[in-house]
Amino acid sequence: MKGTGERIGVVCALLVLIFTAFAWRLIHLQILKHDYYQEIAAEKHDTRQVIQARRGRILDRNGEELAVNVPVQMVYADGSHIQKPAAVAGVAAPFLEMTPEELTEKLTTKSKYLVIRKGVSEEKAQDMIRALEKANLHGLYLQEGSVRSYPNGEMLCDVLGYVDHTGHGADGIEKTCDDALTGQEGFRWIEHDRKGREIVVYRGQEQLPENGSDIRLSIDMGLQAIAEREVDAAYKTNHPASATAILADPNTGEILAMASRPNYDPNKFNQAKPEEMRNRAISDIYEPGSVFKIVVTSAAYNEGIVNDKTQIFCENGHFSYGGKIIKDHHGSGDLSIPEILMKSSNIGAAKISLRMKDQMFYDYVRKFGFGTRTGIPLPGEIPGQVIPPHRWDMLTKTRVAFGQSISVTPIQMVMAMSAIANGGKLLKPKLVMSKGEGSAELTEAPVAQVVKTESANYIANALEKVVGNQGTAPLARIEGYRVAGKTGTAQKISPHGGYLEGRYIVSFAGFFPVNKPRIMGIVIVDDAKLGETANYGGSVAGPVFAKIGEKAARHLDMDPEPTDSVSKQDSSTAAVSAR
Amino acid sequence: MSVNRRRTTNAIEVNFLARWLVIVFLIGLAGLFFVYLKNQQHAVGNQSRLVEAALREEEGRDEALKAQITSMTSRGALQHRLDDGYITLQAIRDTAIARVTPPASAEVDGVLRTASRDPESRFGPGGPQRAVNR
């Protein structure tokens, strides 16, 4: 009996030992190695599912969509779920526009994440998944995404820019407002079963995405379409190297339209040439020519150096100064300030500049915003070039007075002319009205009071004569409205120094109605293929301005001014020219 | 040697047994109920996954259609169709517009609106050549 008891004792002891070992192993696995195994299990089953934030839209001032998102799906394969690659390929290939053989080759993989095709339309992708489910096949999955679409194609391309393959803005507003447009992506921790399906019960931490804000621009697509059409027509007719037009509200600095040629389609940005992708309104510098006479005349008038009784002798068209001859297109004798602007006398402008101190003239040039970036929220803006007085030679001041020896951008010229139109306030160009639905409208304070209101009004009234019968731009006149403006015809600078013979950059900058300006516009045509005798700001850029202005007035429902005030424009011009 | 047999009889304690039976039954029932609930939870979770997927699909389809509509009705697309002659612009005559309130000009309220001042659209063919005498 004793032997039996011992044996039982041994067996029991062995059992105790075995179960103790098991218990220890369990404790080891479940408690001591808990974190380690949990991590391995989590790696296998837990996934951090990214919830993409929707990129904000870009809208015009009236809510018209300029940039939207088109949902697409990315199809990827999980090789560990694919039992029969050929069968899966047979079902899925037609939806992916691939041959079954091609797809089979791709699906014969052990990779858990292999991108098969990007940019598959929502409809096709869902149809493919349904077809696979019907055939009880697994291994192909979808990942949501979207592509940026610009419904208007080439229109406004320079302002909108485009989005690169990473989904971030690469140019234009897409770039400068990228942070606001992108938003914040969300995530969700999920567990999935062997077939890759989410086990919703074990859904973990979740953070919803913050969609990007919609950006509302100051652009009016009605006006943009008008500007695009007329710039396009000028580009096709005159075959210039480039053509640019900007429309703005001179009272607020809001940019209403911005068009240039050549341009590109942001939907196919990878096919565009570099010269097509440049926003010429902010990144091209040019010598403004006679348009710049508004600076010297308004500055001199503002300082009391000239007044409405001043007469400047214009040397009958030939003025020898500093060893060089300054010429006028038409020789004149004594001219008043309005006449100097109307006849676009280089000699008159040069002589006014000589009455001013160098530093004073330079300060006015800078106060009008030249040599400084305007701060328009677009990438690639350049400040232009203004030579400081200590580097001037004897001729520089006289040249700057009529727009040579200085380089400006079209947007700078628009803002400078706006200062004349709005009573002397230099404004910062405003392109973004608001960011996000219901957000407050962004406001910009004037940068500076450049000249007194009285001086600005005097020059504005003088500029009205430019579009009169005796002025340089009668073709820029808009029927029914009093227009003020200035032409510019500047020889192109040669990259090898000096000027290019017979090649010009012509422009017209103007605003209307004169008494209460609502539209400020500039048209610049670079190197139109016209004869030297036909290539002038008044004959090339002026008519484009008039066509844009006429249609813009109709679009904005602007009431025509009383007939007598409009006809006064011509009679006053006649009176001036008779003097 | 008389033995009181009744004393050695093991009495079945029905109350005790019944209590435990009820407890075991209830625990079993609770276990089954737990399993049932867990299954239900999974089934409902699966359903909600499918509903979410369907919702996402519909949202995606809706967005795709919206984008398609936007691109087909965009200014650029309409201009192309207009140029190709697929559509024409038909001016609305003033006489065909019933105004509930007097027309407000942008000068007054600052609201930008599209309006046609073409002589033909205001007065019809053969009407005055200009809307305003100059």
B113 and B66 in a common domain: no
- DSSP labels for A167-233? SSB-SHHHHHTHHHHH-B-EEEEEEB-TTS-B-GGG---EE--BPPPPEEES--HHHHHHHHHHHHH
At residue B110 the predicted structure's pLDDT band, cuts being 50, 70 and 90, is: low
Domain contains B24: yes
Active-site residue A290, yes or no?
yes
**Are A557 and B45 an interchain contact pair (Cβ–Cβ within 8 Å)?**
no
Number of structural domains in chain A: 2
Query: CA–CA separation, A317 vs A196, rounded Å?
Result: 86
Mutation site, A122, A479, A516, A569, interface B, largest B CB count within 10 A? A122
Domain contains A362: yes
A6 touches chain B (CB under 8 A): no
A406 and A529 in a common domain: yes
B105 and B78 in a common domain: no
B78 and B38 in a common domain: yes
A283 touches chain B (CB under 8 A): no
Do residues A318 and A325 touch, judged by C-beta distance below 8 A? Answer: yes
Domain contains A27: no
Domain of A153 in residue numbering reads as: 49-217
Residues B27-47: tens digit of each pLDDT: 999 999 999 999 999 999 999
Structure tokens at A429: 């160009």
Among A290, A345, A507, A539, which one carries the catalytic annotation? A290
Domain contains B21: yes
Radius of gyration from C-alpha coordinates of chain A: 35
Domain contains B51: yes
A233 and A185 in a common domain: no
B71 and B60 in a common domain: yes
Q: Find the helix or strand (DSSP H, E) in which A257 lies.
A: strand A255-261
Angle A309-A314-A317 from CA coordinates, rounded to 5°: 155
Residue A187, strand partner residues:
A50, A207
- Measured in residues, chain B has a length of 134
- Nearest residue in B to A256, CA atom: B112
Q: Find the helix or strand (DSSP H, E) in which A105 lies.
A: helix A100-107
- Nearest residue in B to A221, CA atom: B75
Q: Find the helix or strand (DSSP H, E) in which A48 lies.
A: strand A46-51
- Measured in residues, chain A has a length of 579
Using a CB-CB distance cutoff of 8 angstroms, which residues of chain B are in contact with residue A73?
60
Query: CA–CA separation, A548 vs B97, rounded Å?
Result: 27
**Are B71 and A154 an interchain contact pair (Cβ–Cβ within 8 Å)?**
no
The identity of residue B131, as a single letter, is A
Do residues A569 and A462 touch, judged by C-beta distance below 8 A? Answer: no
Using a CB-CB distance cutoff of 8 angstroms, which residues of chain A are in contact with residue B46?
197, 200
**Are B64 and A566 an interchain contact pair (Cβ–Cβ within 8 Å)?**
no
- Is 70 exceeded by the pLDDT of residue B112? no
At residue B118 the predicted structure's pLDDT band, cuts being 50, 70 and 90, is: very low
SS3 sequence, A414-445?
HHHHHHHHCCCEECCCECEEEECCCCCCCCCC
Query: CA–CA separation, A377 vs A429, rounded Å?
Result: 8
Domain boundary among B52, B72, B88: B88
Domain contains B35: yes
The number of angstroms, rounded, from the C-alpha of A231 to the middle of its chain's C-alpha atoms is 17
Domain contains A16: no
CA separation (Å) from A364 to A92, A339, A392? 70, 22, 16
**Are A69 and B134 an interchain contact pair (Cβ–Cβ within 8 Å)?**
no
Domain contains B7: no
- Pick from A462, A421, A451, A460: nearest CA to A305: A451
Pairing of strands A448-449, A425-426: antiparallel
Kindly give the parts of chain A with pLDDT less than 70. 1-2, 438-444, 532, 562-579
Token pair 């994440």 is found at A113
**pLDDT for A440:** 65
Q: Find the helix or strand (DSSP H, E) in which A493 lies.
A: strand A484-493
Instruction: Indicate the SS3 state at residue A302.
Output: helix
Using a CB-CB distance cutoff of 8 angstroms, which residues of chain B are in contact with residue A214?
none
A459 and A377 in a common domain: yes
Query: CA–CA separation, B115 vs B133, rounded Å?
Result: 19
B114 touches chain A (CB under 8 A): yes
**pLDDT for B2:** 53
Number of structural domains in chain B: 2
B120 and B101 in a common domain: yes
**pLDDT for A439:** 66
A229 and A208 in a common domain: no
**Are B67 and A149 an interchain contact pair (Cβ–Cβ within 8 Å)?**
yes
Structure tokens at A60: 């015009």
B122 and B82 in a common domain: no
Structure tokens at A464: 């009205």
Give residues with Cβ within 8 angstroms of A500, minimum separation 6. A491, A492, A493, A494
Do residues A509 and A414 touch, judged by C-beta distance below 8 A? Answer: yes
B72 and B46 in a common domain: yes
- Is 60 exceeded by the pLDDT of residue B133? no
Burial B56-66 (b: 16+ CB within 10 A, else e): ebeebeebbee
Domain contains A156: yes
Using a CB-CB distance cutoff of 8 angstroms, which residues of chain B are in contact with residue A222?
112, 114
A496 and A353 in a common domain: yes
B116 touches chain A (CB under 8 A): yes
Do residues A560 and A509 touch, judged by C-beta distance below 8 A? Answer: no
Count of helix runs (H) and strand runs (E) in chain A: 19, 22
**What is the four-CA torsion angle of A313, A314, A320, A322, rounded to 10 degrees?**
70
Domain of B95 in residue numbering reads as: 90-134
**pLDDT for B122:** 40
**pLDDT, greater one: B101 or A320:** A320
B48 touches chain A (CB under 8 A): yes
The C-alpha of B5 sits at a distance from chain A's nearest C-alpha, in angstroms, of 34
Backbone conformation region of residue A144, classed left if phi is above 0, alpha if psi is from -120 to 50, else beta = beta
A147 touches chain B (CB under 8 A): no
Using a CB-CB distance cutoff of 8 angstroms, which residues of chain B are in contact with residue A123?
61, 64
CA separation (Å) from B125 to A554, B20, B128? 19, 102, 9
At residue B130 the predicted structure's pLDDT band, cuts being 50, 70 and 90, is: very low
**CATH code, domain with A232:** 3.40.710.10
**Are A566 and B134 an interchain contact pair (Cβ–Cβ within 8 Å)?**
yes
Pairs of residues, one from chain A and one from chain B, whose beta carbons lie less than 8 Å apart: 104
**Are A200 and B64 an interchain contact pair (Cβ–Cβ within 8 Å)?**
no
A247 and A182 in a common domain: no
- Pick from A180, A177, A81, A173: nearest CA to A132: A81
Do residues A61 and A53 touch, judged by C-beta distance below 8 A? Answer: no
The C-alpha of A202 sits at a distance from chain B's nearest C-alpha, in angstroms, of 9
B71 and B19 in a common domain: yes
Domain contains B3: no
B110 and B77 in a common domain: no
Exposed/middle/buried for A266, CB within 10 Å: 0-12, 13-18, 19+? Answer: buried
**pLDDT for A178:** 95
A360 and A226 in a common domain: yes
**CATH code, domain with A167:** 3.90.1310.10
B98 and B77 in a common domain: no
Backbone conformation region of residue B127, classed left if phi is above 0, alpha if psi is from -120 to 50, else beta = beta
Domain boundary among A217, A239, A256: A217
Domain contains B67: yes
B76 and B26 in a common domain: yes
Q: Helix crossing, A85-96 with A100-107: angle to 10°?
A: 130
- Pick from A180, A118, A234, A162: nearest CA to A540: A234
A232 and A190 in a common domain: no
The C-alpha of A146 sits at a distance from chain B's nearest C-alpha, in angstroms, of 10
Domain contains B25: yes
**pLDDT for B12:** 82
**Are A155 and B67 an interchain contact pair (Cβ–Cβ within 8 Å)?**
no
The C-alpha of A214 sits at a distance from chain B's nearest C-alpha, in angstroms, of 15
Query: CA–CA separation, A418 vs A432, rounded Å?
Result: 18
A353 and A238 in a common domain: yes
Using a CB-CB distance cutoff of 8 angstroms, which residues of chain A are in contact with residue B48?
200
Q: What number of other Cβ atoms are within 10 A of residue A27's Cβ? A: 11
A237 and A179 in a common domain: no
Domain contains A439: no
How does DSSP classify residue A573? H
B83 and B22 in a common domain: yes
The ipTM of this complex is: 0.73
Peptide bond into A262 cis (omega under 30): yes
Token pair 């007065």 is found at B123
Token pair 């017979």 is found at A502
- Pick from A318, A488, A324, A463: nearest CA to A403: A488
Backbone conformation region of residue A554, classed left if phi is above 0, alpha if psi is from -120 to 50, else beta = alpha
Using a CB-CB distance cutoff of 8 angstroms, which residues of chain A are in contact with residue B133?
563
Domain contains A491: yes
Domain contains A35: no
The C-alpha of B117 sits at a distance from chain A's nearest C-alpha, in angstroms, of 6
Backbone angles phi, psi at A545, to 5 degrees: -60, -45
Residues B38-71: tens digit of each pLDDT: 999 999 999 998 999 889 888 888 888 888 898 8
- Nearest residue in A to B37, CA atom: A201
A377 and A423 in a common domain: yes
Using a CB-CB distance cutoff of 8 angstroms, which residues of chain B are in contact with residue A559?
105, 107
A245 and A210 in a common domain: no
